[in-house]
Structure 1
Amino acid sequence: MRSGASRLDLLAARDARHALLVRHAGAGHPALVAVALNVPGEEKSPPGAEPLFRWALDQVIAALPGAWPLHVGDDALGPFALLASRAEAGGAKTACVAVEASHPAARLVDLDVYAPGGTVVDRAALGLPPRRCLLCEAAAGECIRLGRHPLDAVVARARALLADAPA
């Protein structure tokens, strides 16, 4: 989290992002794409985060011709954008998964795709496995739930990825 950002700041940022999504979910876009970073630890915008976010945003826009930003900003959770896409949601998710796999540092990029009405299109819907842990081959969600790795090791790996991120 940013210096001075409290747990309440993080929850407020999450709520504001959700409200933005809800506001645009009924606008008739074939897909909405939320572009964010998933940076472990308290600092959500460490050095390297902004260039990685901008790179990811550019990659998504290139992968989804005709996509346009509805919102681009920064909050207690870090940089965030919401894009509208002319691509149908399944195709948009497939393109986003390719972006997430295109560079080791893109493992920190979080691209969520929503179908009309706000339904999430996740990897499972496309028959894809969940994202891997930053430190091992297991599913990231499993490692997080089980507390399998010390937070300082996960944060150190994320910082190393950010140091080698595309700009």
Structure 2
Amino acid sequence: MRSTRLPVFRSRLSSRTRSLLSSSTVTAPSLTSSARSSRNYLDARDSRQDALAQALSAGHRATLFMSLNIPGQEKTPPGAEALFSWMLGEIASVFPRRVVLIAACDLLGPYSILGIDGEPESIKRRCVELEALRPSARLVDLDVYAVGGVQVDRAALGLPSRTCLLCNERAVDCIRSKRHAFEQTIGKVHELLAPFRA
């Protein structure tokens, strides 16, 4: 069955990123309070889920959701967009026949949803390799979904969970237990982004 290409959302990205995603500009709402900030972030997550559902309807065997994984309220610190663009280039090399279904930038940062006609498990393994190409890639999430919206995660492939930014424990465990000071975590983020700052 021939897949349908979905409209690409407009986004606030650099010319290099736009050239990779074929997208353009939108302005994120300003934040006036902590409560409004939290609500807006939740709204952004809900919108991403809606975008994913729309992308899944295109009928590709696998759907790749690429986003940044940066803690704190500043989701696009200096170097973040360059990192995002670099990973897009790596994905283009590994999956040359990918289809950009949706590309956007919201309060959580830039994201792209791609359709790939291949075995979801194999694609996820390649994505795990991409996430380990360099230390900075730790700040990128490459989530793969099979037909029907079933996520193909590391556990399904018998692979270990991603480790914490600051130690070798599972990232999810450190987040839940608040094992590390927030300042330490943000400091590590800026360290990882340093190679991508002009």
Could you tell me the TM-score, scaled by structure 2's length? 0.80
Select the structure of larger CA radius of gyration: 2
| Counterpart for residue 70 of structure 1 | 101
CA RMSD of aligned residues (A): 1.8
Taking the TM superposition and a 5 Å limit, the aligned residue runs for 1:1-167 are: 4=31, 6-165=37-196
Q: Contact conserved, 1:3 with 1:43, CA < 8 A, in 2? A: no
- Aligned partner of 1:132: which letter? T
Cα distance in 2 between the residues matched to 1:12 and 1:118: 20
- Aligned partner of 1:150: which letter? A
CA offsets 1:51-92 (integer angstroms, 9 cap, x no match): 000111111222123112111111000010000011221111
Identify unmatched segments of 5+ residues in structure 2. 1-28
Cα distance in 1 between the residues matched to 2:149 and 2:88: 20
Percent identity between the two aligned chains = 46
- Aligned partner of 1:116: which letter? V
Which deviates more from structure 2 when the two are superposed, residues 30-39 or residues 156-165? 156-165
Q: Contact conserved, 1:99 with 1:106, CA < 8 A, in 2? A: yes
CA offsets 1:119-150 (integer angstroms, 9 cap, x no match): 10000111100000000000000100111001
Cα distance in 2 between the residues matched to 1:145 and 1:106: 22
Q: Contact conserved, 1:13 with 1:77, CA < 8 A, in 2? A: yes
How many residues are paired up?
167
Q: Contact conserved, 1:33 with 1:113, CA < 8 A, in 2? A: yes
Identify unmatched segments of 5+ residues in structure 1. none
- Report the Cα offset of residue 164 of structure 1: 2.0
Cα distance in 1 between the residues matched to 2:50 and 2:131: 25
- Report the Cα offset of residue 40 of structure 1: 1.0
- DSSP 3-state at the match of 1:58: helix
Q: Contact conserved, 1:64 with 1:87, CA < 8 A, in 2? A: no
Could you tell me the TM-score, scaled by structure 1's length? 0.94
- Report the Cα offset of residue 6 of structure 1: 0.9
